[in-house]
Amino acid sequence: MLKSNLSSRPFYNERLVTLALALVAVIGAALTYFNYREIQQSSGVRAEYQAKIDSNEQKRAQVMAEANGIKSRIDPQAFKQLGFATHEANALIDQRTFSWTVLLGVLERTLPMDVRLVSISPKFEKGNTKVVLAAIAKHHGDIETFINALYGANGMFYSVYSSAEQHNDDGTFNFNVDAYYLAPPPVTKRSGGRGTE
C-alpha cells in the first residue's frame, strides 16, 4: 500500500495517534455511562419522592373526608352547650379554690381605721379573680390610703382603682374599689405523726 505524506515534517508514528484516539473514546464512553447512571438514579429518586407525595395527598384527602364527616355529625347547639358547661365547671373550680379566709385576712391588715367595708364580691373572669369592694369612708383621703394599702399588700392586688364615689349628707363617702386579686398558693400541711416502719 502506497502512503503519501505532504507535510513538510512528516509524522509516521500512527500508533500514538491511534492510542490517543482510543483513550479519548474510552473517556467519552466512561463519561456517557456515568451520565446515564446519574440520570437513572435521579429518575429513581424522583419517582420515589413522587410516590411519597401521592401517598401523602391520598392520606390528606382521607383525613379531610373524615373530618368533614365528623363535622357534619356534630350538633352546633350541643357543641355550644358543651362550651357553656365547661365555662360553668371552670368557674365552680375557681370558686372552690378561692379562700375567703386569706382574702379577709389581707383586707383586715390593709383597711384604714376610718373605712368600713359594706360588701365584697369576687368575680372569676378567664382565670383571673376580680374583687369589687363596696366601702364607706369618713374622709376622702381614706379612699386613696386604702387603694395604696392594697397595692402594698405583697403584690396580691393589681389594677386597683376607685369607682362610683358618692358624697353622703353625713359627710361620709360611699365608694367602690375594683381590684384584681392574686391569691397565694395553698400551704400544704405535713403530717406530724411518725411514719410506719
Residue ranges per structural domain of the chain:
99-181
Euclidean distance between the first and final Cα of the chain, in Å?
117
Distance CA 190, CA 187 (A): 10
Bridge pairing between strands 128-137 and 115-125: antiparallel
Distance CA 20, CA 16 (A): 6
Pick from 107, 98, 106, 118: which is nearest to 172 by CA?
118
The pLDDT profile of the chain, 197 residues, written as one tens digit per residue, is: 555 555 555 555 677 778 888 888 889 888 888 888 888 888 878 888 888 888 888 899 889 888 888 877 777 777 777 777 777 666 666 555 567 788 888 888 888 888 999 998 888 777 788 889 999 998 888 888 888 888 887 778 888 888 878 888 888 889 999 988 887 655 555 545 444 44
pLDDT tens across 51-109, in order?
888 888 889 988 988 888 887 777 777 777 777 777 766 666 655 556 778 888 888 88
Distance CA 54, CA 118 (A): 71
Pick from 154, 163, 166: which is nearest to 131 by CA?
163
Output the nine-digit C-alpha cell for 25: 473514546
Q: How many helices (H) and strands (E) does the chain have?
A: 4, 4
Per-residue pLDDT, 134: 92
Does the domain made of 99-181 have the CATH classification 3.30.980.50?
yes
Per-residue pLDDT, 197: 43
